[in-house]
């Protein structure tokens, strides 16, 4: 390879690196500055927010006043951080939709935004398990057992919600290739 080709490749790599950095910066600025978009929340998220309040846990776990004091600390930390993440997620989803509606959407921007949504969801899941462990740390064995039931219902409801919203149409559930799906004997296909 000659010297000019090497130089061109180096400039191309530098240009692409700068482009990546500026894309991340512009998305970060856009996410933080655009607060006028309408929030998006699924029915499941709304039900969860209604259930995960102090009264609900106090009644279900039969928390005593000293436990409630500790619960309030854990709950307030969780709620403020979760609200911030959910606000950012809602804004990012809205920005993605606006980008997709454009005549010529920027697929690189959409890819970066999609990755950001995934990272934010991961952050929310980590926050949720820390919330669970924080509540569990103030519970008796009996209360911890009830806490397990509460969170299992929440996670199963989320799984149930996803399961029933996937690919259903007039031809079936959309989970396979008709008669070839779930065959016990894959040796012969009729």
Does the model's pTM come out above 0.85? no
pLDDT tens, position by position, 125-177:
999 999 999 999 999 999 999 999 988 887 776 555 555 555 544 444 444 44
Q: Name the DSSP class of 55.
A: H
Q: How far apart are CA 85 and CA 121, in angstroms?
A: 8
pLDDT tens, position by position, 78-119:
999 999 999 999 999 999 999 999 999 999 999 999 999 999
pLDDT tens, position by position, 31-80:
666 544 434 444 444 455 455 678 889 999 999 999 999 999 999 999 99
Could you tell me the pLDDT band of residue 122, with boundaries at 50, 70 and 90? very high
Q: Residues 88, 120: contact at Cβ < 8 Å?
A: yes
Q: How far apart are CA 24 and CA 20, in angstroms?
A: 6
């Amino acid at each position: 390879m000659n010297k000019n080709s090497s130089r061109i490749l180096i400039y191309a790599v530098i240009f692409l690196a700068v482009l990546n950095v500026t894309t991340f910066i512009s998305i970060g600025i856009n996410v933080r500055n655009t607060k006028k978009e309408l929030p998006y929340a699924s029915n499941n998220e709304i039900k969860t927010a209604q259930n995960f309040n102090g009264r609900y846990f106090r009644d279900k776990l039969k928390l005593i006043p000293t436990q409630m004091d500790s619960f309030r600390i854990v709950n307030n930390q969780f709620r403020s951080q979760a609200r911030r993440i959910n606000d950012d997620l809602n804004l990012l989803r809205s920005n993605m939709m606006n980008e997709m509606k454009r005549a010529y959407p920027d697929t690189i921007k959409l890819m970066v935004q999609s990755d950001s949504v995934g990272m934010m969801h991961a952050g929310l899941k980590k926050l949720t398990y820390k919330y669970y462990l924080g509540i569990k740390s103030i519970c008796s064995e009996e209360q911890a057992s009830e806490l397990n039931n509460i969170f299992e219902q929440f996670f199963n409801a989320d799984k149930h919600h996803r399961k029933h919203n996937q690919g259903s149409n007039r031809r079936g559930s959309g989970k396979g290739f008709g008669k070839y799906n779930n065959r016990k004997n894959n040796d012969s296909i009729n």
